[in-house]
Structure formats: structure tokens, C-alpha cells
Structure 1
Amino acid sequence: MDKHKAIPQGYMTVGEVAKKMDVTVRTLQHYDREGLLSPSAISEGGRRLYTDKDIVKLHQILSLKHLGFSLNDIKNRVIPLDTPAEIAAALAEQAATIKEKIDSLSESLRELEALREEVLQMQSVDFKKYADIIVNLQMKNDFYWLIKHFDDQTLDHIRSHFDKDSGKAFMDTFLQLQDDAIRLQNAGVPGDSDEGQNFAKAYWNMINDFTGGDMSMLPKLIELGQFQNAKQDWKEKQTIANSYVEQALGFYFSKLGVDPFQEGTK
């Protein structure tokens, strides 16, 4: 009885706090030793005493710990709770941190589900392709699914000639030229016109960027629009675009007096 009388009104023992917040007494003792959450008072009998303010601070600590922060990280993130503004700032930071974590977990879940679909569609276990798909998912490349269609030679070529930035730049150029081809085709612009030939030159430069001068890679690039089981909207766009590309390049190479596509398939 005397033991309980020694606890001033408005204070809680370490055991009461542990029960209230569903943690162990040992955890609270550890936080005290680490300088994260020291008791607001010590009773005459040497017992640690906590207040409601300590409960709020403990909630901060437990929330950040649940989000994966280390104790050292938490030390730098726990905000003083002496004014309404400080309390509001602490809650706002926690909310922002939680949202950031949710966004990160949601993105990880999207990547896992996308990779799972790719794995199920592939006919063999290929961890190199899995790794490439993961990298492209993290790059936010919407065309990560193309990777499963490439053979080892093409993928080795891509890995050796492109990094993250140059690979994205190439894909952006490819998609832009694809849209240009569809626009020119729909507008009825002849492939041998000045506009058509400017397009052909830009397209051929893009092809040279991809092949790096290795003409044996030409058929691989042409296959981009001909993969079996490719997404329907991709195949439809490629069919329209390739119709104009073939026409414009045909005139372009005729003027140059060469047929690099024929050479590339030898």
C-alpha cells in the first residue's frame, strides 16, 4: 500500500506504461539507457515514473521503429513535445514518414507482382532476365515486359552498350520515332518526301545507336514489333509504324545505294 502511495498523481510506473503500450519493461529500460525515453521522474523508492507526455513520445519511437528506423535514426527524428506546434510538427513528420513508407511498399508490391507475371510467362528459369526485369521496373520502364522476349545475345549486347541513362534515352527515342511514323503514315506523308527522308535518317541513326555498328543485331531490332504474345496495343502500333518505316527507309537506302538490312541478315 505504501508502495503505491509513493507514486505521485499523474505518473505511471514502468510496468503500467509497458502494459498500456504493449511493450516489455526491458524495452523501456533499454530506451532509457539509450537516451531515447528517460522517465520524467524517479519515485522515492527509485522506481521509474512516466507521464502521459512520455506515452506520446513512446508512440513516436515505436512508430518509427515499426517503419524500420534504427535507434540512432530515431534519436535524430524524435521532436520535443513542449508546445502545440512541436506536437503538430511531430505528428506531421510521422504522417509523412508513414506515407513515404506506404508508397515504397506499394511500389515494391507492384514490382513483385509484375515480376511474378513475367516469371509465369517465361518458359524457363532465367535469373539474368529476372534481374534485368527488376532493374527496369525500378527505372519505371513500362516496357520491362519486352525483356522476356529477347535472346541471350541481344540481352548481352544491351547490357554491354547501355547503362540506365543511355538505355532510357534510347527507349525514349524509339518511342518518339514510333509515334512520328504513325503520325506521318496517318497524314499520308510520302516516304520519299523531305519530311519522310528526314524521318528515315533519324530512324537509321537510332538503329546505329542500338547496333553500335554490329549489323548482325539488325534482325533483333526488327523483331521488336513481331514478338509472339506481345501486348496487343504494342503489336498494333508496331504494325502501323513499321509500314511507314519500311517505306521511308527503302527510299533512303535506295538513294544511298546500299541495303544494310540485307547485309545484316547474311
Structure 2
Amino acid sequence: MKQSKSIPEGYMTVGEVAKKMGVTVRTLQYYDKQGLLSPSAESEGGRRLYTDKDLITLHQILSLKSLGFSLADIKQQLISLDTPSDVANILSKQADDIRQKIEQLSASLAAIEQLRTEVLQMQTVNFKKYADIIVNLQMNNEFYFLIKYFDDDMLDYIRTRFDQESGFAFIERFNRISDEIIQLQKDNIPPENEKCQTLTKVYWDLIMEFTEGDMSMLPKLIEFGKLNNTTNEWEEKQKKLNAYLEPALEIYFSRLGVNPFEGVET
């Protein structure tokens, strides 16, 4: 009874408003501090009091906030707008912002799902590789999955050997020559054929360009080339390519009278 006498009819305490509108008292206090929604009155005991009109304002704030508007936007722009056209323009801008966020979230979701696939295929936890995969996903590098096959030393070498532009250019050349060789395989051209041997030389020159002539890197590239467990179309293509290239390279080196693997531990 004492409380009812201290609260004038038509007014509500902050606790009552919070319960009725499904927010916390702290939220209402924050809105008051930010100048978004101040109490309409104060009781004799110093309690902040709200009216039904305040509830309407609070409802507007919560509704606009649910659409992604910031409290600053609501305070500075929305509540003070006078014409439907003004409101429509602000809503259009907000719609554009939300579309952009959706695109960003969709890209992040796709990256998470792709990274999860790669993580499950790796034998150990390696956050350095995870970071590399994420960066390559963000660059839209479709060959991000290759990272899991390289050790840290090889990845460090690739980072220093190539920048984004030169890396993409090298992969493009590698894929182009690979496609030409696979086409010979489909056409049943034998490895000793001059067409195959010409492309084999180009392929080997690319390997030498990649390693800068460092033959100690060959064992790692050979290990990478095995691709025992293929997980996508590109890896399956490389597996077929390697099966066709192995005898072609043996013939190529035999004709040159050299053994590039001599003295190299494989």
C-alpha cells in the first residue's frame, strides 16, 4: 500500500517497464544515460517513472534496433525524421548495409566450412597452416587446399618466393601445361612421343623454376605428388598426370644422359 501511494496513477517504475517490455533495468538505465529514453517523472522517493507514451518510444527503439540500426542512428536520425520519404531513405541505406553484412557472413561461413574440411584431413593441429588457408580463402585462391600437403619449411619458402600475383601466375602456367599433358594421355600418345617429350621438358623447367634449382627440395615435391588420398577434381587430375609423367620423365632424363635425383635422398 505504501508503494502504491508513492507511485502516481498512470506511471510505472523502471522495474515494471523492464518486465513488461522484456528488457533489463540496466538497459533502460543505459538508454536514459544516452538520451534515448528518459523517465517522464520521478517519485517523491527519487524513483524514475515512465508512462505509456514512454513505452511507445521504447517499443520504437527496440523495433529499430532489431533491424540492425545502431543506437546512435536511432537517436540522431530515425526518431526525428518527419516525412515517409526521409524514413524510406534511411531504411534503404540500412537494407544495403545488411546485404553487405550478409555477404560477409556468407563468405565467413563458407570459409569456416572449407577450413573444417581441411582440418579433418590434416594429421596434426597446425594453426600456422590454418591461418594460411584462411588467407588464401580470403584471396579467393581455389588451390588453398594444397597448403595441407606442405611442411612449414616449404610454406615459408613459398611465401618468400612468390607474392600473390606471381603465385597465381605460376599456378596458371602449371595448370595449363598439366592440361596439355593430360590431353596427350587421353589421346593415347605414348610417353616417348616427341609431343609428350616436349611438354615434359616444359613441365620439368617449371619444377626447376619453382625450386630455383635447389635439388634438395625434390623429395618434398615427390612426396607431395603422390596424392594417395584425392579429395577433389584437381587432385584426381594430378594423380593421373603423375602416373603418365613418371615414365615420360624417365625417358626425358635418359635421353639427356643425366639423373637429377642422383645424390638426392628421396
TM-score over 0.5 for the pair? yes
Q: Which residue of 1 aligns with 2:157?
A: 157
Which digits, 9 at most, give the CA deviation of each residue in 1:58-86, with x for residues without a partner? 43335437xxx7x6688788686432233
Aligned position for 1:148: 148
Quick one: higher RCO (CA 8 Å, sep 6+), 1 or 2?
Answer: 1
Secondary structure at the counterpart of residue 64 of structure 1:
coil
Contact kept? 2:185, 2:244, Cα under 8 Å: yes
Specify every segment of 5 or more residues in structure 1 that has no aligned partner in the other structure, as ranges. none
Matched, 1:133 2:137: no
State how far apart, in whole Å, the 2-side matches of 1:77 and 1:260 are. Answer: 76
In 1: Cα distance, 2:143 partner to 2:13 partner: 58
Per-residue CA shift, 1:58-115, capped at 9, x if unaligned? 43335437xxx7x668878868643223333333343443443344334334333433
Change (3 A) 1:235 1:47: closer
Supply the AA of the counterpart residue of 2:64: Q
Which shows bigger deviation, 211-220 or 56-65?
A: 56-65
2:114 is aligned with 1:110: no
Query: What is the one-letter code of the residue matched to 1:120?
Result: L
Q: Is the 8 A contact 1:200 1:248 kept in 2?
A: yes
Q: Is the alpha carbon distance of 1:208 and 1:60 closer, same or farther for their aligned partners in structure 2, counting shifts above 3 Å?
A: farther
Which amino acid in the other structure matches residue 83 of structure 1?
T
Q: Look up the match of 2:261.
A: 262
Q: TM-score, normalised by structure 1?
A: 0.65
1:61: which partner in 2? 65
- Where 1:145 maps in the other structure, the secondary structure is helix
Structure 1 residue identity aligned to 2:65? I
Equivalent position amino acid for 1:192 in 2:
E
Query: 2:225·2:239 contact (CA, 8 Å) conserved in 1?
Result: yes
Give matches, 1:87-98, under 5 Å: 87-98=87-98
Superposed CA RMSD in Å reads 4.5
Deviation at 1:16, TM superposition (A): 7.4
Q: Is the 8 A contact 2:78 2:87 kept in 1?
A: no
Bigger Cα Rg: 2
Q: Residue 192 in 1 paired to residue 194 in 2? A: yes
Indicate the residue corresponding to 1:179 in structure 2.
179
> Contact 1:200 / 1:245 at 8 angstroms: preserved in 2?
yes
Alignment-mate amino acid for residue 64 of structure 1:
G
1:215 and 1:263 in contact (8 A); partners too: no
